[in-house]
Each structure stands twice: as C-alpha cells, then as structure tokens.
C-alpha cells in the first residue's frame, strides 16, 4: 500500500484495533511506544558426527548449542537496561534422532522483540555474536539468519503524543470520560508501524467484550467472535477524529489531510 502511494500527501493517520478485554465501546490509548518491533531468527551450529563411544573423534554441536542457548539468556538480563521491554525466545531445537551418535548439525530458533526498533537491531547483533562465539569455543561453526524473507521485520509502534491527545479529547466528548482508559504496552507486533515510519500516527484499542454474545476471545483464537455493536461506535469515532482534526487544522489556516486506517 505504501508503494502504491496511499500515504502520499498524508500528514496524520489513526487506527483502531479490537480488544476483547474491554467492554464494547470503550477505548484505550497511550502516547509513545505501544507495540514491539519484531523479528524471527534461526541459528545453525555445525559440528562433526561420530559414535557416542568415541567423543574425541567427533565435534559435538549439541554441547555448543546448549551453551549458546544458555548464553543468549544473559543478553537481556545482563546487557540491557532492566526498564527496557525486550524478549529473546528460543522456541524450538532440532537435531539428530540417533541414541548412539552425535548429530552433525543442531538448529534452533525463535523470536526477538523490543519496544524500540533500535533495541531490536541490538538484539539481532548480539544473538549473532553469541551463537558464532559459542560455536567457535566448542570447535563448531555457527551462523544466525534473520528470517526477513519469510517474516519481514516489524518496526515498533510509536504513538505521536499530540495525535494521542487529540484521540483522547474526541473520545471523551463522543463516548464519555468513563469510556476512555489508559492503554497498555504489549510485545506483539503490528504492521501499522510501517505507516508510522512515514506519517505521525496513533493506534488505539476499542473494546468488543460482551459475554452475552460470546465476544470474549482474543482475535487470534479460533473461537473469536466480535460484538457487532462496536461497528457503529467505531465508525462514528473514526469520523469524529477525522472531522475534528480537519476542523482544528482549518482554524489555523492550514490544510489538514488525514488517512484513516
């Protein structure tokens, strides 16, 4: 969509995302970092296969991978500010299946996440250094690949402070002050962040929770069901946000342009 020029001439952008935790029609938002920059990685450690009874004739990638995985756990706890929100997860390990032989290769991988895009780049760099270094210590060869082809890296969602205040002001007027809640930071990724790299914007949540109709599950749950009463509320809110933004821009003698997601 960006390549097709959808953001050409746009100066502000607003988005809402359903939230099953809040009652239908309530919203939650906050300024600054909101959702994580995300990537996925895979690591490969190559050794030399051999019989279990002659370990001196093989180069064991299992031991090297074990040390690498344990060392990776130190990156966030020992190298970064504890107030920063980051995730370094190893979610799978694959190797041989023989009970009497050392496998030639161990593969493992997972996901890296940070509430800042810069933090994610640091994680990527250190994961590569740790895996390659631990492999070398154990006479193996290590390599890390960021899976950008299969899963493009997402930058972090960062809500513009002025636009955030605009959303809160309009929402209080339209929905009532009791319907506007402070938002939460989460470590999930969101491709709205790609738009925000080019245009100041805000993404906020709108509640859909209604136990009577079964709207109680997260959007990625197979039992997800949306309370459709939220549709006119969300449509009205988007309209009001755009209308009042343009009105405010026109009062200072400037043309306001809005792209609403």
Can you list the domains of the chain with their CATH numbers? 2-35+157-259 (3.40.630.10), 37-146 (3.30.70.360)
Instruction: Supply the pLDDT for residue 252.
Output: 58
**pLDDT tens across 192-213, in order?**
999 999 999 999 999 999 999 9
Give the predicted TM-score (pTM) of the model: 0.87
Distance, CA of 77 to CA of 74 (rounded, Å): 5
pLDDT mean over 68-79: 95
Q: What are phi and psi of 92, to 5 degrees?
A: -155, 155
Beta-strand runs (E) in the chain: 12-23, 27-29, 32-35, 37-46, 50-51, 86-94, 101-102, 105-114, 141-146, 157-159, 180-182, 201-209, 258-260
**pLDDT tens across 84-105, in order?**
899 999 999 999 999 999 999 9
pLDDT mean over 231-243: 97
**pLDDT tens across 127-155, in order?**
999 999 999 999 999 999 999 988 999 99
DSSP β-bridge partners for residue 37: 114
Instruction: Supply the pLDDT for residue 261.
Output: 43
């Amino acid at each position: 969509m960006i390549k097709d020029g959808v953001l050409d001439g746009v100066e502000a952008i607003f988005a809402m995302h359903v939230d099953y935790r809040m009652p239908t029609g309530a919203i939650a938002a906050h300024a600054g970092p909101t959702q994580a920059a995300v990537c996925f990685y895979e690591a490969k450690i190559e050794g030399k296969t051999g019989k279990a009874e002659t370990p001196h004739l093989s180069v064991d990638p299992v031991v090297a991978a074990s040390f690498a995985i344990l060392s990776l756990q130190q990156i966030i706890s020992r190298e970064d500010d504890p107030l920063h929100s980051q995730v370094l997860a190893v979610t799978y390990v694959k190797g041989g299946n023989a009970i009497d032989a050392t496998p030639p290769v161990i593969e493992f991988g997972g996901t890296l996440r940070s509430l800042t895009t810069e933090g994610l780049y640091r994680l990527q760099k250190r994961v590569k250094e740790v895996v390659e270094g631990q492999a070398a210590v154990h006479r193996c060869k290590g390599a890390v690949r960021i899976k950008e082809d299969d899963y493009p890296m997402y930058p972090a969602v960062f809500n513009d402070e002025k636009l955030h205040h605009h959303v809160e002001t309009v929402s209080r007027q339209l929905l009532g002050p009791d319907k506007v809640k402070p938002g939460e930071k989460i470590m999930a990724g969101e491709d709205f962040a790609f738009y925000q790299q080019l245009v100041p914007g805000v993404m906020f949540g709108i509640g859909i929770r209604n136990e009577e109709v079964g709207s109680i599950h997260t959007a990625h749950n197979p039992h997800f069901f949306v309370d459709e009463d939220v549709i006119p509320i969300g449509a009205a809110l988007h309209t009001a946000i755009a209308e009042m933004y343009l009105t405010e821009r026109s009062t200072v003698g400037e043309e306001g342009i809005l792209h609403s997601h």
